[in-house]
Structure 1
Amino acid sequence: MENDSTMYVGLDVHKEPVSVAYAIDAGVVESLGKIGTSKTEIERLCKRLESKASHVRVVYEAGPCVYGLFRQLVERGFEWMVCAPSLVPRKPGDRVKTDRRDAMKLARALRAGDLSAVHVPTIDNEAFRDLARAWATAREDQRQAKQRLKSFLLAHGARYMGRADWSAAHKGWLSVYSFGSAWQQLAFEEHRRTIDDRLNQCERLEAALREAVVSWRFYPVVQALQAMRGIQFLTAVGMVSELGDLSRFMHPRQLMAWFGVTPSEHSSVGKRRQGSITKTGNSYARKLLIEAAWSYRHTARIGPQVHRRHEGLPKAVVDPAWDAQVRLCQRYRKLTARGMNVGISIVAVARELVGFLWDIARLGMVSTASRRAQRA
């Protein structure tokens, strides 16, 4: 083994087993077989890799096994990368896919520098993100449960004469409605009970989020983003938990690309053709962003809710939030006045909103750090 040799290792990771391939420097890519996922198996693999080269670089695709293997092998001093599966180069004519070939392809692409890494959150950030995703899942389950109940009532001709928006009057009507068949009544009551269960679950998780976010590292960013119109507590928590450390985005355009709101493009021979947005990156964060952008359809103003969220925030955060509201509201009116579709106009507003989010999040962290320094 030469002292300056580098080994490139590709892993095709599954629940069980893991396929391993490697190449030393510019040598041939070889398969190392399959290993288990237990700690003993991983330790044995590490020793084999360390015996073959002084410098080891390892890569595997992000997937359901997430970052446990990554953190385990970083402790061994290996240089690691978790790559984006959708950005792994693939030959158009390659129709054979096996675990062994996938591992060899990853090792080859790592050596060529053709892979794009994904951000790996810290253990605390991942734990908080799991809590935020649990709330988002519960809210989606509640929405689906409400839709199932409405479909059930519609199928049996039971129609509420007012607006079925789950107001007090609507809930009162549901509480007294009954079916002639005992079986249908039982099904109706179970649908209602499911909605109540999901509502209680959402309330428990929201209370846990409000309690946990105070001690979270990115709590200042959550507070700063709430200065924006259309971004309340749960929206800010959802965005920041998915984004993680915003300092890795050196320019707002990088954050726009992460949200997937940049236009696709196919330009050649002096002609520029732009299409719909790429929709790459995190779909849940993009959904929250688009929902927030809809609030900029109306005239710029500081309503009671936004005014309450501004209390306690530094002027350096509040002023850019107002500038964003003025600009984005005008932007929406200009686009629609030109005849642009409302949905497309909202996406354009959302893209510009990302730039303000990037700036305000940074200002929130800086202002918090400066206040801590003054106290010290």
Structure 2
Amino acid sequence: MRNDSTVYVGLDVHKESITVAYAVDGGEVESLGRIGTTKTGIDRLCERLRSKARHVRVVYEAGPCGYGLYRQLVQKGFDCMVCAPSLIPRKPGERVKTDRRDAIKLVRALRADDLSAVYVPGTEDEAFRDLARAWASARDDLRQARQRLKSFLLAHGVRYIGSANWGPAHRRWLSEYSFGNEWQQLAFDEHRRTIEDRLAQCDRLEVALREAVFNWRFYPAVLGLQAMRGVQFVTAVGMLSELGDLSRFEHPRQLMAWLGVTPSEHSSGGKRRLGGITKTGNSYARKLLIEAAWSYRHPARVSRDIQCRHEGIPKALIDRAWDAQIRLCWRYRKLAARGKHVNIAAVAVARELAGFIWDIGRLAMSLAVPHREQAA
């Protein structure tokens, strides 16, 4: 083992096994076979890798197994990367796929510096993200349960006279309505009970999330983003829990590309062709971003709800949020006047909104630093 040598390691990770391949510097890629995912198996692998070279670089694809392996390898002192599976180079004519081939391919791509790393959150940030995702899943389950009940009533010709917005009057009518058939009434009661259960679950998770956000390190950014129009607590928490540290994006265009709201391009020679947005990256964060962008189709103004969210916020953030509202409302009107479809205009606004989120989020964190130091 030379002191200046480097071993490149590719791991094809599964639930019960890990297939390992390696290469020392520019040598041939060799296979180490398959190991288990237990701590003992990983410790033995680390000892074998240390015996081959002083510097060890490891890579594996992001997947359902999470970042536990990454943290174990980093704790051992290895240079580890979790790469994006969709950005791994692939040969068009390749028709054979095995775990051994995948591990060897990772080694060659890592040695050629041809892989794109994904962001690995800290343990606390990941825990907060899990809580935020649980709340989002509960809201989706609630929406689906309500839709199932509406479909059930529509199939039986039952219609509510008024606005079926799940307000007190609508819910009171649902609790008092009854079917003549016993089996239909049982099915109807189960649909209503599912909705009540989902409502209780959403309330529990929201209370827990609002309590946890006070101790989260990005809480100043959560408050700062809520100064903007269309960005309420749900959007601010959902966006930041998925984005993580905004300082990892050196330029707002990087955030736009990560959210998948930049136009695709297929240019050749003197022709430049732009297509629809790439839709890469985090789909949930992109959904929240576009939903927030729809609020800018109305004229710029500061509503009472936004005024309440401005309480206790530094004036620099409020001014920046107002600048964003003026700019984005004008942008939507300009695109609509040019005859652009409303969806295209909303996505264009969402792309610029991502830039303001990057700016305001970073500004909020910088303004909160002196307060934390003073409190310490």
TM-score in terms of structure 2 length: 0.98
Q: Partners of 1:372 and 1:169 in 2: how far apart?
A: 46
CA distance in 2, matches of 1:374, 1:328: 36
Match of 2:365 in 1: 365
Report the counterpart of residue 176 of structure 2 in structure 1. Answer: 176
CA distance in structure 2 between the partners assigned to 1:329 and 1:234 by the alignment: 22
Q: State the SS of the aligned residue for 2:51.
A: helix
SS at match of 1:52: coil
Q: Which residue of 1 aligns with 2:260?
A: 260
Q: Distance in 1 between matches of 2:34 and 2:368?
A: 49
**Partner SS, residue 81 of structure 1:** strand
Q: Give the 3-state SS of the residue equivalent to 1:264 in structure 2.
A: strand
Q: Give 1:362's aligned amino acid.
A: R
The 5 Å alignment of 1:137-152 reads 137-152=137-152
| Residue 4 of structure 1: aligned partner | 4
- Paired AA for residue 96 in structure 2: V
Alpha-carbon offset, residue 374 of structure 1? 5.7
Q: Which 10-residue stretch deviates more, 302-311 or 175-184?
A: 175-184
Moved over 6 A (4+): none
**Which residue of 2 is the match for residue 211 of structure 1?**
211
Equivalent runs, 1:241-252 vs 2, <5 Å: 241-252=241-252
Establish whether residue 270 from structure 1 lines up as the match of residue 270 from structure 2. Answer: yes
Q: Which amino acid aligns with 2:312?
A: G
Query: 1:295-331 CA deviation, whole Å, 9 max, x = no partner?
Result: 1010100000000100100011000100100111111
Letter in 1 for 2:113: G
Report the Cα distance in structure 2 between the residues aligned to 1:128 and 1:86, rounded to whole angstroms.
26
RMSD (CA atoms):
1.0
Q: Sequence identity, in percent?
A: 74
Paired with 2:357 and 2:75, the residues of 1 have a C-alpha distance of 35
Deviation at 1:371, TM superposition (A): 3.4
* CA displacement at 1:52 relative to structure 2: 1.0
Shift in Å at residue 375 of structure 1? 6.1
Aligned twin of 2:103: 103
Residues in 2 aligned to 1:314 and 1:167: alpha-carbon distance in whole angstroms: 36
State the partner residue of 1:94: 94
Equivalent residue number for residue 133 of structure 1: 133
Instruction: Give, as a single letter, the amino acid of the residue that structure 2 aligns with 1:261.
Output: V
- Separation in structure 1 between the aligned mates of residue 328 and residue 167 of structure 2, nearest angstrom: 32
Q: Gapped runs of 5+ residues in structure 2?
A: none
Residue 190 of structure 1 pairs with residue 190 of structure 2:
yes
Instruction: Give the structure 2 partner of residue 45 of structure 1.
Output: 45
The amino acid that maps onto 1:116 is S
Q: For 1:157 and 1:29, how far apart are their aligned partners in 2?
A: 67
**Aligned pair in 2 of structure 1 residues 10, 188: CA closer, same or farther (>3 Å)?**
same
- Partners of 2:100 and 2:277 in 1: how far apart? 35
Query: Take 2:50 and 2:308, find their aligned partners in 1: how far apart are those partners?
Result: 58
**Aligned equivalents of 1:55, 1:198: Cα separation in 2:** 51
Provide structure 1 residue ranges, at least 5 long, that are not aligned to the other structure. Answer: none
Aligned residue number for residue 316 of structure 1: 316
**Alpha-carbon distance in structure 2 between the residues aligned to 1:189 and 1:372:** 51
Q: Which amino acid aligns with 2:263?
A: P
The alpha-carbon deviation at position 373 of structure 1 amounts to: 4.6
Following superposition, the deviation at residue 30 of structure 1 comes to: 1.0
TM-score by length of 1: 0.98
Cross-structure match for 1:70: 70
2:101 and 2:184 mapped to 1: Cα distance? 55
Give how far 1:163 is off: 2.2
* Matched residue count: 376
What CA distance in whole angstroms lies between the structure 2 residues aligned with 1:214 and 1:107? 43
Counterpart Cα distance in 1 of 2:19 and 2:296: 50
Q: Match for 1:47: what amino acid? A: E
| Residue 161 of structure 1: how far off its partner (Å) | 2.4
